[in-house]
Structure 1
């Protein structure tokens, strides 16, 4: 029995050795296959991906050689760095120019009422700039006109009224205000392409001068900061201000508090704020020391709140509107607006 047991142990050890040898052989074969596959990739498909790396290495080497040669010739390294920086800036400018040339415009917007009624305005294609829709804009101005006591509901009662259009985009709101009798509008837009190819052209198409329609190519934050102490550089405080930012790219509470404290708002200024449904909790009944909410209307997916400073005599907010914004109407029909504007705004 003892001899039979020893034979069994020998057989088990032989099986284990064979298994280990077989596993080792399999691992070696897998390694060889992987190496062969990598070599094949390098020889065929991967050449296209390796060539840019080789070209980049060659370009870097040539650049270093050029720098060393220029230094040997006595050119200061500081000057070489400045030249390299300027070269990079030119390349960046050219790339940006190509991107801008790919952006296009179309004429799908019109002035709703007033002197320039039905005049067409340029608007950028795509979702980068989303202007307030015509029906929403018309209903908003009708609401403001009713609040300030306009007899015609089209023309501003005070012909010396001035409008500040923040996040102007196409300038549709400020131009609508001028069509309805505002003597002057200021437009604040930070995108140079939009100001040059859309806003400036819209102003020119209506025959307005730079003294009547002033464009500030700046962010709203920078514009408010530059007029933090005085509104003299902007010609004084404004009678009306529109605040229609890209919904989710700015802090509504922070900017509205800055507006409340800004000298750009007089004691009688009316502020129009466009916002999305999710931002309704940020639209308080009062903001800061001066602004109080008068109206809060819904236009489809777009919401518009109207605030006024304490110095203007206007009716208080209706509790029904404060509790639940009602569907706005114009010409007896419910105004629908919004569309994709919950994602991107003007």
Structure 2
């Protein structure tokens, strides 16, 4: 088993046990710290969806830092078992739900969730970007936020309706935070978001 550490909030420094599986690459501490600095004003009370949850670090970190709830979607049985054990250890079942499902199928079959933040970090080699992004609008609230992690130098191209808020990168990954543009936001779509 490997470990991932929650780096902020009420569960700060809690270590999560994570099976070591091929292709599993939990978001690094440095990238998570940057992401949650960007999201901090938007997190209190937010409903989050962590697709391809893996270690669960993104969804659990969000709840640790004030999000109201998180839905973690993961299809690998070993990861699902580890996520459920972590949720039990944290006594977080009232806020964190773990769903054993293929993320694309879950998006297509489930009722619209209307969450405030979506974390999207699929297996890079699987080529799932277009399928997942096409299904997101019905699950994301107006003005909601989408975090995307992709191979370094090769971010997915998002269709019209998404506004880039912030982006960064490491040697391994490119990461970006987008906001869903809606009719109610047209007046401020071109405005610069505060840091």
Shift of 1:278: 4.9
1:265 matched to which residue of 2?
140
- The SS at the match of 1:248 is helix
Pick the aligned partner of 2:154 from 279, 282, 285.
279
2:61 matched to which residue of 1?
176
Separation in 2, partners of 1:296, 1:165: 19
Separation in 2, partners of 1:213, 1:250: 28
The reply on whether 1:298 has 2:169 as its aligned counterpart is: yes
The structure whose residues are more often helix, as a share, is 1
- Scaled by the length of structure 1, the TM-score of the pair is 0.51
With over 3 angstroms needed to count, the CA separation of the structure-2 counterparts of 1:128 and 1:191, relative to structure 1, is same
Separation in 2, partners of 1:217, 1:188: 6
Shift of 1:258: 2.2
Uncovered stretches (5+) of structure 2, i.e. residues with no partner: none
Shift of 1:310: 1.6
Shift of 1:220: 1.0
CA shift digits 1:293-318 (9 cap, x unpaired): 2222112321111111124667548x
Q: More relative contact order in 1 or in 2 (CA 8 Å, sep 6+)?
A: 2
CA contact (8 A) 1:170 1:202 kept: no
2:51 matched to which residue of 1?
166
CA contact (8 A) 2:142 2:181 kept: yes
Alignment of 1:265-344 (within 5 A): 265-280=140-155, 282-284=156-158, 287-288=159-160, 290-311=161-182, 315-316=191-192
The structure whose residues are more often strand, as a share, is 2
Separation in 1, partners of 2:127, 2:73: 15
2:19 matched to which residue of 1?
124
CA contact (8 A) 1:295 1:305 kept: yes
Separation in 1, partners of 2:134, 2:109: 16
Pick the aligned partner of 1:143 from 12, 16, 38.
38
Paired positions, count: 189
Separation in 2, partners of 1:133, 1:142: 14
Separation in 2, partners of 1:299, 1:278: 9
- The SS at the match of 1:304 is strand
Alignment of 1:1-346 (within 5 A): 105-106=1-2, 108-145=3-40, 150=41, 156=43, 158=44, 160-196=45-81, 198-209=82-93, 211-227=94-110, 230-231=111-112, 236-260=113-137, 263-280=138-155, 282-284=156-158, 287-288=159-160, 290-311=161-182, 315-316=191-192
Separation in 1, partners of 2:128, 2:100: 20
Rg larger for: 1
Shift of 1:118: 0.6
Shift of 1:143: 2.0
Separation in 2, partners of 1:253, 1:316: 27
Separation in 2, partners of 1:126, 1:188: 17
Separation in 1, partners of 2:134, 2:180: 13
Shift of 1:127: 2.7
